[in-house]
Amino acid sequence: MLALLALASVSCKDDEETELTPQLSGLTFTCPGFVSPKQVVTMTPKGVVHPDGGEYGIYWKVTPTMSWTDTTRYQNGLDKNDASGKPSDGSFRFQFSDTLGTYTVNCYAFSSGYSGDSYSKDVMVVKAGLDGSVTGTGIKAADKHVSSDGTDYYYTRIGSLDWFRNNLASQNGGAPLANHDVMSDIFGRYYSYEDAVKACPEGWRLPTEEDWVALGKELGDADAQPLAPVADVASKLMADAYFNGVQMWEYWPEVGEITNSSTLAFIPTGYANLGARSDGTYPQASFEGVYEYAAFWTADKVDGEDDMAYYRYMIVDQPDLFVGKGDVRSFGASVRCVRDAE
């Protein structure tokens, strides 16, 4: 017992004498969330606070690509590649892989005698096109399509109309996912109603509410009506699509097997809160509901509400095609263009 008490006394004394090591803090950096295969990105650390105002070093590692670390700033504040002795900002220039997937960029700040600080961000390598990030749409290169501004839009005839089978990606308006242009030709862009009504290529237009109802009837809901849900058509509109290998529409018994029998290949790209427009872009846009919703503008404004228009949408766990109302300037939805069938 005396021995245990003596040991406890020593342990307590050690705890009292142990002091926490001062720590660096505040490290951060910016980099895009989505990049193209083999894209080169330069990242610069910022915000590092040394508790005693001393110098610190910076090193980086990208997983799973790098099995080593790359020091870009020595503890004396100099760049390892700069013989001039000028101070270094610790920037890191990296070329991402051409293998699609998610990579983690890790940055570390260090200083002798101090605990370091770290910060990391995920970056996804993505690719547009039929052999790119989105697979399982059923669209083939030989299928009917038109080209506009460098993008191929595939289409199919349903009833008396030709319908786009992929989302509009015109950069004459709208915003790409996370405001990264590399996503425009992958998910399409998110348009305000004001942008949507003038975004379709020449000869094509935004579908009206009546066009959406006619589509519902062609897909089996004989009782489809304007401004009402179209029953049991979700599975016929959804594509069993994958984004970089991840299934986009989760299976729900209420929806049933995804057949994409319409061939329209809807994918759950969600919607956007665009905020105010600035210089033709939406820098404050936020994006919601990816993997859960697909939302598409109609051409119809709400009677008596000049600042509202109707859109059609689907939810991952519901079998119907619903109708909603969105602000004509700030709500962002996808666009599928139509024309009289040729």
Among residues 171, 186, 153, 179, the alpha carbon closest in space to that of 269 is found at 186
Q: How confident is the model at residue 342 (pLDDT cuts 50, 70, 90)?
A: confident
> Could you give the strand order of the β-sheet that contains 242-243, starting from the edge strand earlier in sequence?
134-135, 242-243, 246-247
Write down the pLDDT at residue 20: 75
Q: Tell me which range, 48-62, 64-78, 267-281, is most confidently predicted by mean pLDDT.
A: 48-62
| pLDDT higher than threshold 70 for residue 128 | yes
Cα gap 239→139, rounded to integer Å: 10
Regarding pTM above 0.95, the answer is: no
User: Between residues 107 and 83, which one has the greater pLDDT?
Assistant: 107
Write down the pLDDT at residue 186: 98
With b meaning 16 or more CB within 10 Å and e meaning fewer, what string describes 166-175? bbbbbbebbb
Instruction: Find the mean pLDDT for residues 166-194.
Output: 96
Among residues 234, 266, 243, the alpha carbon closest in space to that of 336 is found at 266
Structure token digits, residue 186: 């992958």
Q: How confident is the model at residue 13 (pLDDT cuts 50, 70, 90)?
A: very low
Q: Among residues of the chain, what percentage have pLDDT more than 70?
A: 93
75-98 tens-digit pLDDT: 887 776 665 677 889 999 999 999
Q: Among residues of the chain, what percentage have pLDDT more than 90?
A: 86
Instruction: Find the mean pLDDT for residues 90-107.
Output: 97
> Cα(first)–Cα(last) distance of the chain, in Å?
96
Structure token digits, residue 72: 């870009």
Write down the pLDDT at residue 4: 31
265-318 tens-digit pLDDT: 999 999 999 988 887 789 899 999 999 999 999 999 999 999 999 999 999 999
Instruction: Find the mean pLDDT for residues 165-178.
Output: 95
Which domains occur in the chain, in start order? 24-125 (2.60.40.10), 134-340 (no CATH)
| pLDDT higher than threshold 50 for residue 2 | no
With b meaning 16 or more CB within 10 Å and e meaning fewer, what string describes 258-286? bebebbbbbbbbbbbbbeebeeeebeebe
Among residues 325, 335, 291, 279, the alpha carbon closest in space to that of 148 is found at 335
Place of tokens 């290949």: 265
User: Between residues 316 and 20, which one has the greater pLDDT?
Assistant: 316
Write down the pLDDT at residue 7: 34
Q: How far is CA 178 from CA 34, 59, 237, 290, 310, in A?
A: 8, 27, 25, 11, 24
Judge whether 162 and 272 are in contact, CB under 8 Å.
no
User: Between residues 257 and 4, which one has the greater pLDDT?
Assistant: 257
Write down the pLDDT at residue 82: 60
Full DSSP string of 240-253: --EETTEESS---T
Phi-psi region of 319 (alpha: psi -120 to 50; beta: other; left: phi over 0): alpha
Write down the pLDDT at residue 274: 96
Instruction: Find the mean pLDDT for residues 181-201.
Output: 97
193-232 tens-digit pLDDT: 999 999 999 999 999 999 999 999 999 999 999 999 999 9
Judge whether 144 and 154 are in contact, CB under 8 Å.
yes
Please list the alpha-helical segments (H only) found in 209-277: 209-218, 234-237
Write down the pLDDT at residue 9: 39
Write down the pLDDT at residue 81: 63
Output phi, psi for 16, to 5 deg: -65, -35
Beta bridge partners of 295: 313
